[in-house]
Structure 1
Amino acid sequence: MFFRRKNVACAFKYENTPLSTPLENLDFVVFDTETTGFQVATMDRIIEIGAVSIKGLEVRETDTFQTYVNPNRKIPQETVELTSISNVQVEGAPQALEAIMSFFDYVQSREAVCLVGHYVSFDVLALKSEFSREKLALKKFLTIDTLDLIGFIAPSYDMRDLERYAMAFGTRIYDRHSGLGDALTTAYLFIELLWQFKNRGYSTWGELIKATDSQMRSLQ
């Protein structure tokens, strides 16, 4: 017998946001996940979610979200060394579904137009996989990848490392391989990219969508 998976949704404002809306009138949430490894579609699990809001083209450092997540498996030593997240830290942390729903509550309360991330397809796959393990389906929603915006503004750059991009564009760098730290680093990089986007004569939500459309990320 075929059972249809229940859809879970996170509310965003992009569907009701006029394409003519100026960039400075948009609210975003920038996020990042840390995981036990790179095989998030199969064996690896989320161990941290970090996020920060953007309003009026400014990063709101006093308005952040951070939670560790219990992966229900031992964190590999190389991941502990990379992220500084220990098995003790996640032992009493929320389960993935609870942690993600808390994150979605944060996103919805900020009335974000969409989620933003650096190489965001990895992070959204991690979220989607956690829901799939609970026999739930995550309803698709819009995301913007800073890599796509960099590709539009400076197509000569050919690298994925967040820190190298932050250095190249002269933006702030926070704790690496930390969910909140990487979210803050990505947020400041995103703001710099938006200002460069504006300096090239683009100023609206519709133009931002079009500029990132070729690789625009969405959950299925």
Structure 2
Amino acid sequence: MRQIILDTETTGFDPAEGDRIVELGCVELIDRQFTGNNLHIYFNPDRESSPGALEVHGLTTEFLSQFNRFEDEAARIFEYLKGTEIYIHNAAFDVKFMNAEFARVGMPPLDQSAAAIHDTLAMAREQYPGKRNSLDMLCERLGVSNAHRTLHGALLDAELLAEVWLAMTRGQFGLVMEHSDQPRQEAGQPAVATFDASILRVEVATEAEIAEHAAYLDGLDQAAGGLSLWRKLTNPPPAA
């Protein structure tokens, strides 16, 4: 399955008000592996960016005026994205703009031509409830370096989001994949797979973390009026 991580930069916040896409960045993965077959295009929007949008992406009208308009590239973009599994951070925003651009040239909307569209912001909110889940915060949380990101850029943000998505979903793929040389699974029988546990990264608790954990368990013991269930299970009394 082709997976495309997509991001856009725009002149403003609402295509219904005439705002346009000024930059499209797409990163291609196949079976979660980077292929290098990325798509990066700047567009002449035939209008000024709003001050707020310009502050975000820094793409001036003078710079953008040298590039093609979206309608000149629409067919190439459509073919690149057709039938793919697309991942976008805050997907509703980018899909709204992409659909508006395709509609201007009489082409089907993105959410009809793609195999699926996934919102990584919704995924992050489910995985990290109650926490801030901007791309910058996810990079920090998941150890993805974004030190080179001073302004938003569609391709740069798509590359960062690809790394974030891989880190967020690493445990959901490949743990029970069946090798081709294994016997076929019989109907009604549970799937059996091999897994090399040596590839797992083991994080060892620091002395400070161990002490903090012990203090927390002391509080549980005090609240329970004796040994807490955790300590009964992890430190059972010796057999008589």
Superposition TM-score, scaled by structure 2 size: 0.63
Q: Deviations over 1:8-36 (max 9, x none)?
A: xxxxxxxxxxxxxxxxxx32011101001
Query: Which residue of structure 2 lines up, in the alignment, with residue 121 of structure 1?
Result: 92
Partner of 1:209: none
Say which one has the larger Rg: 2
Aligned to 1:101, which of 40, 62, 75?
75
Q: State the 1:130 CA deviation.
A: 1.7
Does residue 1:163 correspond to 2:102, yes or no?
no
| Corresponding residue for residue 157 of structure 2 | 182
Instruction: State the alpha-carbon separation in 2 of the partners of residues 103 and 49 from structure 1.
Output: 9
Rounded to whole Å, the distance in 2 between the matches of 1:157 and 1:170 is 19
Aligned counterparts of 2:31 and 2:140: Cα–Cα separation in 1: 24
Q: What corresponds to 1:143 in structure 2?
A: 117
Give the 3 Å change call, closer, same or farther, for CA 29–76 of structure 1 in structure 2.
same
Q: CA deviation at 1:83?
A: 0.7
Match of 2:40 in 1: 66
Q: Return 5+ residue gaps in structure 1 as ranges.
A: 1-25, 204-220
Higher RCO (Cα < 8 Å, 6 or more apart): 1
* Alpha-carbon separation, structure 2, partners of 1:130 and 1:181: 22
Residues 145 and 172 (structure 1), Cα distance of their counterparts in 2 relative to 1, 3 Å cut: farther
Q: Is the 8 A contact 1:169 1:192 kept in 2?
A: yes
- Gap change, CA 1:172 and 1:54, over 3 Å in 2: farther
Q: Give the direction of change, closer, same or farther, for the CA distance of 1:89–1:156 in structure 2 (3 Å limit).
A: same
- Call closer, same or farther: CA 1:105–1:135 in 2, change over 3 Å: closer
Within a 5 Å distance, the mapping from 1:1-220 to structure 2 comes to 26-60=1-35, 62-108=36-82, 113-134=84-105, 136-138=107-109, 140=112, 141=114, 142-152=116-126, 154-173=127-146, 175=149, 176-198=151-173
User: CA, structure 1 residues 169+157, in 2 after alignment: closer, same or farther (shift >3 Å)?
Assistant: farther
CA deviation after TM superposition for structure 1 residue 95, in Å: 1.3
Contact 2:24 2:42 in 1 (8 A): yes
- Find the counterpart in structure 2 of residue 211 from structure 1: none
Equivalent pairs counted in the alignment come to: 173
Q: Between the two proteins, what is the percent identity of the paired residues?
A: 22
**Alpha-carbon separation, structure 1, partners of 2:165 and 2:176:** 15
Equivalent pair of 1:150/1:157 in contact (CA under 8 Å): no
Shift in Å, 1:101:
2.6
Which ranges of structure 2 fall in alignment gaps of 5 or more residues? Answer: 178-240
Q: Structure 1: how far apart are the matches of 2:37 and 2:106?
A: 32
What RMSD over aligned residues (CA atoms) do the two structures have, in Å? 2.6
Residues 127-186 of structure 1 deviation map (CA, whole Å, 9 limit, x = unaligned): 11123334554262420111232244x242443421111111212435341010111011
- In 1, Cα distance between the equivalents of 2:165 and 2:65? 33
3-state secondary structure, aligned to 2:103? helix
Maintained 8 Å contact 1:116/1:146: yes
With over 3 angstroms needed to count, the CA separation of the structure-2 counterparts of 1:202 and 1:97, relative to structure 1, is farther
CA contact (8 A) 2:3 2:32 kept: no
Helix, strand or coil for the counterpart of 1:143? strand
